[in-house]
C-alpha cells in the first residue's frame, strides 16, 4: 500500500516569497492534516480536512497561509508571503475516518517538506 506522498522534500526561498506544498494521502483516507514542525518542537496542527471540508483551522495563520483539498483527495498548502519564522518541516498526514465516524487516532504521516526561509 502506498503511503502519504509529499513534495517537494526540500525548498529554500527568501522571505516575502511564496511557496506551495503538495500532499497525496493514502487512498480512501477521508481525513487529511497539515502540521508544522519547527526544529526541536512537536508537530503543530495547522489545518484538518474531512473530505474536502475544513474541520479545524484554528491554528492556521490565515493572513499568510492557505490550504485546499481538491475533490477530497490531494491537498495543497501555500505560504504567501513567507517569513523567517516559517522555516520548518511541513508534515501531511491522513487517516481513514470519514464523516460520522470516530477517528481511532492512527495517523499516517508523509516524510515532510522542509522549508528554509532566508
Residues that bind another protein (CB under 8 A): 4, 31, 33, 35, 41-45, 48, 50, 55-56, 91, 93, 95, 97, 102-112
Measured CA to CA, the distance from residue 64 to residue 54 in angstroms comes to: 17
Which residue's entry shows cell 522534500?
A: 9
Residue 50, SS3?
Answer: strand
Nearest-approach distance from CB 111 to another protein, in angstroms: 6
For 53, half-sphere exposure in the C-beta direction (CA atoms, 13 angstrom radius) is 4
Nearest-approach distance from CB 36 to another protein, in angstroms: 11
> Which residue's CB is nearer to another protein, number 4 or number 82?
4
> Which residue's CB is nearer to another protein, number 81 or number 111?
111
Calculate the CA 53 to chain-centre distance: 14
Nearest-approach distance from CB 97 to another protein, in angstroms: 6
Amino acid at each position: 500500500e502506498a503511503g502519504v506522498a509529499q513534495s517537494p522534500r526540500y525548498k529554500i526561498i527568501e522571505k516575502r516569497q511564496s511557496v506551495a506544498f503538495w500532499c497525496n494521502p493514502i487512498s480512501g483516507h477521508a481525513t487529511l492534516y497539515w502540521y508544522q514542525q519547527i526544529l526541536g518542537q512537536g508537530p503543530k496542527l495547522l489545518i484538518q480536512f474531512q473530505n474536502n471540508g475544513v474541520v479545524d483551522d484554528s491554528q492556521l495563520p490565515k493572513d499568510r497561509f492557505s490550504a485546499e483539498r481538491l475533490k477530497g483527495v490531494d491537498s495543497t498548502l501555500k505560504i504567501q508571503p513567507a517569513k523567517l519564522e516559517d522555516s520548518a518541516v511541513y508534515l501531511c498526514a491522513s487517516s481513514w475516518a470519514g464523516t460520522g465516524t470516530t477517528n481511532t487516532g492512527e495517523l499516517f504521516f508523509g516524510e515532510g517538506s522542509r522549508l528554509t526561509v532566508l
